[in-house]
Amino acid sequence: MKDLDIKGGTVYFKGANGDEIEGYLATPVAEGSRGNVVVIHHMPGYDRATKEITLRFASMGYNALCPNLHYREAPNADSDDAAAASRANGGVPDDRLIGDVDGAKKYLAELPSSNGKFGVIGYCSGGRQTFLSACNLQFDAAVDCYGAFVVNPPAPEFPVRMNPIVDQAPNLSAKLLGLFGIEDQYPSPDEVKRLDEILTELGKDHEFHTLDNAGHGFFASDRPSYRVDAANRGWELIRDFFGANL
């Protein structure tokens, strides 16, 4: 598949509570009708690596928008400073996340090139937030990349505020692609298996892949957790999944 010519840059739109937030929008240069992808960044922030992922979706033929989930804590600050401020405040509240993803989706919907189909993808904490988004908003396709605490609560020794959200699974609106690493403990292969079983019992359309020689963060090409085999395979699965559903 030929990579398309693309363009990318900062846009502003209304997020949760009507607050203005920023996001990184990437689109093909050519006119046309195309699917849309909301990209949810990981906890370390609205960083260069996530913007590169957003650009990659544009090169694959989608309108892609990554909302800056830490914008309120530190408008116009460096992404690592904003992430630190968010971390000190306990992370991104679930209800605010849903509102911000909804705002990004609405922004994409208003683009003249939107075909009215929407996907969402997130990594690490964004994997859980992808599941949360797809249970509270209407999406056609969702990709959960190693999101923890969807089924299992944090271990007692972790003071994490994240609550399991599997009770929301009956409301899952989208087809779900799950990409996980066999060496990951959060989520562990057992937790992934349990989520797979729950979605099957509910009759929810989903496709899970637990990839060999991969742990948490295997897509992160600027981190030591990067596993090229798993990441390449993951991108192929995403290409086919979004290609079929967007």
Partner 1 sequence: MCTYIVEKVEITGSAKGRNGWFASDEVVVSFDHPVHAMDDHTLNIDFLKSDGSPTDRVALEIRPSDALKFAKTILAVLDEAPDSLK
Site for partner 1 in 90-109 (CB under 8 A): 90-91
Site for partner 1 in 204-223 (CB under 8 A): 215-217, 223
For position 125 contacting partner 1 by CB under 8 A, the verdict is: yes
Q: How many residues of this chain interact with partner 1, rule: CB under 8 A? A: 35
Given candidates 87, 194, 233, 239, which one binds partner 1 under the rule CB under 8 A? 87
| C-beta of 25 vs 83, nearer to partner 1 | 83
- In a 13 Å sphere around the CA of 145, the CA atoms on its Cβ side amount to 25
* C-alpha span between 15 and 217 (Å, rounded): 27
| C-beta of 52 vs 80, nearer to partner 1 | 80
Place of tokens 């596993």: 227
- Cβ atoms < 10 Å from Cβ of 19: 14
Given candidates 11, 43, 166, 237, which one binds partner 1 under the rule CB under 8 A? 43
Given candidates 7, 161, 221, 229, which one binds partner 1 under the rule CB under 8 A? 161
| C-beta of 45 vs 61, nearer to partner 1 | 45
* C-alpha span between 6 and 32 (Å, rounded): 13
- In a 13 Å sphere around the CA of 34, the CA atoms on its Cβ side amount to 22
Nearest approach in angstroms of CB 239 to partner 1 is 27
* C-alpha span between 98 and 131 (Å, rounded): 10
| C-beta of 74 vs 230, nearer to partner 1 | 74
For position 159 contacting partner 1 by CB under 8 A, the verdict is: yes
| C-beta of 87 vs 106, nearer to partner 1 | 87
For position 158 contacting partner 1 by CB under 8 A, the verdict is: yes
Site for partner 1 in 44-83 (CB under 8 A): 44-45, 47, 73-74, 77-78, 80-83
Nearest approach in angstroms of CB 144 to partner 1 is 14
Nearest approach in angstroms of CB 160 to partner 1 is 5
Beta strands in the chain (DSSP E): 6-14, 20-28, 34-40, 63-67, 114-123, 141-145, 175-181, 206-211
Sheet hosting strand 114-123, strand order edge to edge: 6-14, 20-28, 63-67, 34-40, 114-123, 141-145, 175-181, 206-211
Identify whether the C-beta of residue 112 lies closer than 8 Å to the C-beta of residue 146: no
* C-alpha span between 12 and 99 (Å, rounded): 14
Place of tokens 């963060």: 217
For position 145 contacting partner 1 by CB under 8 A, the verdict is: no
Binding interface with partner 1 (CB under 8 A): 42-45, 47, 73-74, 77-78, 80-85, 87-88, 90-91, 124-125, 148, 158-162, 185-186, 215-217, 223-225
